[in-house]
Structure 1
Amino acid sequence: MSIIQLENGKFLIIDTIEMNDKLRKEIDQLTNNGQKIEAVIAAHPFHTLFFPSFYQAYPNASYYGTPRHLRKITNIPWKGDFTDCNIRKKWEPEVKLRIPAVNFKISFFHFKIFKFCVFAGIFVDACEIGILRLKIGAEFINPLPESSNHFISVFVYHPYSKTLHVDDTIMYTEDPGWILRLIGYKRGTLFFHPSMDSDGLHPTAAAPYLFRDWMKNMLNDWKFDNICTAHIGVKIGGAHEAVTTLLEKTEPVFAKLSEENKKKNPDGILPDGMHPNTNVKDDKCV
């Protein structure tokens, strides 16, 4: 869970954790017994367990989630989900939100002769031939299988503190447990969620590279220094450089996944139940 104070003095709660008396007292003191909580953001489709109890404690805040939150937790009166561009933009420029590897582009080709454009053999003052291209990298609306595909989440960036909040898509551990050490993770390791190698990305040849390119754009636009990840770690300082290095080291994995997907799915067709999200253009709302 992360807590961001806005310029208006109110607070955003990003994800929830199990409440205890100590935490409840701290949040009450910070937010005037919840009166200053402007909104609660559910950023990861599968982080659902503690939202009902948090809502019982703070029912007057506005709650926003992923499509899965709205489907699964029906006792919370959600204000909307993050496929809605206006909700993602709601707290800009103070807080910025993006959904990884979901892009929508329209390309226009212009054919001009002198001051005119020619289309179908006819001279007109202006014309555009548009080609619609969907760029799809990962499933956000209905991630399947539910038992393992916990890869995609909403990235939340707070420029003032230079902090990036990421649930599961990127993970960090300062002191890995024995299971993580057993599979090769060392102290201070930053890594992508293991489901990226199996179900996390769409099963197309393009998907791994779309996610990689989305990450590159994010790194170019967001100059964070700290990263807050779910479950096991917060990295203070040096996070931008560390994520950049992680992305570079993962290039062979992207190439391998792309080649495997190309063999299994040469036509790049999305299986039933997966969604091309179409309200994002180069990470910006359309």
Structure 2
Amino acid sequence: MKQLSQDFWNIRGDFKIAHVINIGTHMSVVRRPGGKFILLDSYEPAKQDLDALMTLTEGGSMIEAVLNVHPFHTIHCGFAEKLAPNARLIGTRRHHEQKPDLHWDTALIEDAATQQEFADLFDFSIPSGVDFISDDEAVHVSSVLLRHRASRIVHADDTLMYIDLPALAQKLIPGPQLRFHPKLADGLEKRSGAADDYVRWANQLASEWADTSMICAAHNGILDMSGQNFPEAIREALDAAAPTLDKHRSKYG
């Protein structure tokens, strides 16, 4: 468990595709001004991180809510409920459908009214032009992005991906890379204007969250924005996605 600011911690974890390729996952811990805690996403950490989390939150008793922000990240939600049984367990519509045995709060994190409950602590953003919950179980393009206002740290799942290239590859392709989900082509709504809506959303995000200090990405790490700026990183990600967006425009308009 790594402390990134006075009131923000991030816990890294393993998630393997086909039990072989580890693309990583995560959970963030945010302390409210009053001393209570909010968990962002659900993950069962290794013992050392779990012990640190339990110490920080007084055995889980100080955890006020768990916000599960990606519809397709459901594996560890049961653990989160056991960890903090008195906390509000908040997820998306798909969480309720996939894990109906858990004691979900009636509020859904994709709803504006739910986000308003936590607006004193976070900024929220949901991509436009893509399906929030795709019919294709392999398409995890969309999620609810959060930004902790006090620290200017973004917590992101899948929608924004951090590609930390090996040192040898960085000689050819400089730097850590911020990219949109590789299945963007499948996630875009099959209608005219969807690609432009996505670009508009990305540019608005770049503008409104311009002073972002770090990005904690589920896949696959923490991107420190010192030395680059968030709008530039988003523009580079859009440039990388341009062929996908152009192909969609050609097909749907």
Q: 1:219 to 1:6 in 2, by over 3 A?
A: same
Equivalent residue for 1:27? 53
Distance change (3 Å), C-alpha of 1:139 and 1:185: farther
Instruction: Report matched runs for 1:1-286 at 5 Å.
Output: 1-79=27-105, 80-101=107-128, 137-140=129-132, 142-146=133-137, 148-175=138-165, 188-197=176-185, 199-223=186-210, 224-237=212-225, 238=228, 240=230, 241-262=232-253
In the alignment, the residues of structure 2 paired with residue 186 and residue 152 of structure 1 have an alpha-carbon distance, to the nearest angstrom, of: 27
TM, length-normalised to structure 1: 0.71
SS of the residue 2:192 aligns to: coil
Q: SS at the partner of 1:250? A: helix
**Which consecutive residues of structure 2, in runs of 5 or more, have no partner in the other structure?**
1-26
Deviation at 1:185, TM superposition (A): 7.5
Which AA in structure 1 matches 2:123? K
Measured against aligned partners, the alpha-carbon deviations of 1:108-148 in whole angstroms (never above 9, x if no partner) come to xxxxxxxxxxxxxxxxxxxxxxxxxxxxx1211x31211x2
CA distance in 2, matches of 1:74, 1:217: 35
Q: CA deviation at 1:17?
A: 2.2
Q: C-alpha root-mean-square deviation of aligned residues, in Å? A: 2.2
Displacement after TM superposition at 1:75 (Å): 2.1
Letter matched to residue 60 of structure 1: N
Partner of 1:277: none
Alignment identity in percent?
A: 30
Structure 2 CA distance for aligned equivalents of residues 186 and 150 of structure 1: 27
| Matched AA of 2:114 | I
- Partner Cα separation in structure 2 for residue 233 and residue 177 of structure 1: 16
Query: Equivalent residue for 1:278?
Result: none
Q: Secondary structure of the equivalent of 1:97?
A: strand
TM-fit CA distance, 1:20: 2.5
Q: Is the 1:13–1:39 contact (alpha carbons within 8 Å) kept by the matching residues of 2?
A: yes
Displacement, 1:236? 0.9
Aligned residues: 220
Q: Is the 8 A contact 2:202 2:234 kept in 1?
A: no
Higher relative contact order (CA 8 A, sep 6+): 1
Aligned-residue offset at 1:41:
0.8
TM-score by length of 2: 0.80
